[in-house]
Amino acid sequence: MAMSHLLATVIPLALGAAVSPILFGIEMLALTSSHSPKVRAWLVAAGSLAILLVFSVAGLLLSTSLPHHRPHPHVDGAIDLLVAGLLAWLALRTWRRRALTPPPGKKTLLERLDGAPTRTFFVAGAVGMVTNFSSLVLYLPAFRAISKSSVSPQDKALCLAIVLVITLMVVWIPAAIVTVAGSRAQPALQRMNGFMTRQSTTITIAICVAFAAYLTIKALTELI
C-alpha cells in the first residue's frame, strides 16, 4: 500500500474521530476556568493523547503476537462491517437516549469538574476520550490500516502522527489558539461550544451514520 493510498484511507476516519462534542466541552470548561486555564487545557489534550497511545500500544502488541498471514480482503471486509455495525448501534443508542434526562441529583462530568483541582483535567481528558465511543471506533480502524500496511516503519510513524494530530484537534487547537491569542479567542470558542452543545446529539448521529455507510460500502467492495 502506497503512502498516498494509506493517507487517503485513514484521514477520513481521523476526521470523523475528531468530531467530539464531549471533549470539546471539557476543553472549553478548562479554558474558561479562573485558575490556570491554559495549563488545564493542555492537560485535557495530554489525557486524551494518553488514551489513544494506550490503545495504539495495545493494538501493536496484539498484532505482533498474532501469526502473520498474507492480507485477505474478506477479513478486512468483515472487520469493516463489524465497525459499521458498531457505529450504527451507537447512532441508534444516541437517538433513543436523546429525550432522556439525567436522574435527579446526578451530576454530569462537566459539573463534577467545576472547581476541581488542576491535575484532575488530565484525568478528565482521558475519561472524555474513553467514553467517546464514536471517536475510538473510528480511530481503531485507522490504526489497524497503518499497522498492517506495507509502507516503511518511518512512513507508518509519520502516518500515525498525522492521525493523532487530526483526531485530537478538537482539544489541541482551542488550547493553542488561547495560548497564542489569549482572551481575544474566547468569544469565538464560546459560540462554537454553544453550537456543539446544542447540536451534540445530531452531530454524533450524523457522524456514526455517515461512517457506517462509508465502511459498509468499503466492506462490500472488498467482499465482492
List pLDDT tens digits, range 26-49: 888 888 877 888 899 999 999 999
Rounded Cα–Cα distance for residues 159 and 7 (Å): 7
Rounded Cα–Cα distance for residues 10 and 3 (Å): 11
Could you tell me if 176 and 54 are in contact, meaning their C-beta atoms sit under 8 angstroms apart?
no
Q: Is the pLDDT assigned to residue 121 strictly greater than 60? A: yes
For 43-68, the pLDDT digits (tens) are 999 999 999 999 888 877 766 655 55
DSSP letter for each residue of 14-29: HHHHH--HHHHHHHHH
If residue 31 lies in a helix (H) or strand (E), which one and from where to where? helix 21-31
Domain coordinates in residue numbering, the chain: 3-64+78-98+109-223
Residue ranges of alpha helices (H) inside 73-223 are: 73-97, 109-113, 120-130, 133-147, 153-167, 169-181, 186-198, 200-223
167 burial via Cβ count (<10 Å: 0-12, 13-18, 19+): buried
Mean pLDDT for 2-10 is: 88
- Mapped onto helix, strand or coil, the DSSP state of residue 106 is coil
The C-alpha cell of 115 is what?
Answer: 472547581
Rounded Cα–Cα distance for residues 220 and 150 (Å): 23
Rounded Cα–Cα distance for residues 66 and 23 (Å): 34
Those residues whose C-beta lies under 8 Å from the C-beta of residue 131, and which sit 6 or more positions away, are 22, 109
Sign of the C-alpha dihedral computed for residues 148, 152, 157 and 158 taken in this order: negative
If residue 55 lies in a helix (H) or strand (E), which one and from where to where? helix 37-65
pLDDT of residue 187: 79
Q: Is the pLDDT assigned to residue 100 strictly greater than 70? A: no
43 burial via Cβ count (<10 Å: 0-12, 13-18, 19+): buried
For 163-221, the pLDDT digits (tens) are 999 999 999 999 999 888 877 777 777 777 777 767 778 888 888 888 889 888 887 87
Those residues whose C-beta lies under 8 Å from the C-beta of residue 115, and which sit 6 or more positions away, are none
Side-chain-side CA neighbours of 92 within 13 Å: the count stands at 7
Q: Which of 69-73, 81-85, 113-117, 153-157 has the lowest mean pLDDT?
A: 69-73
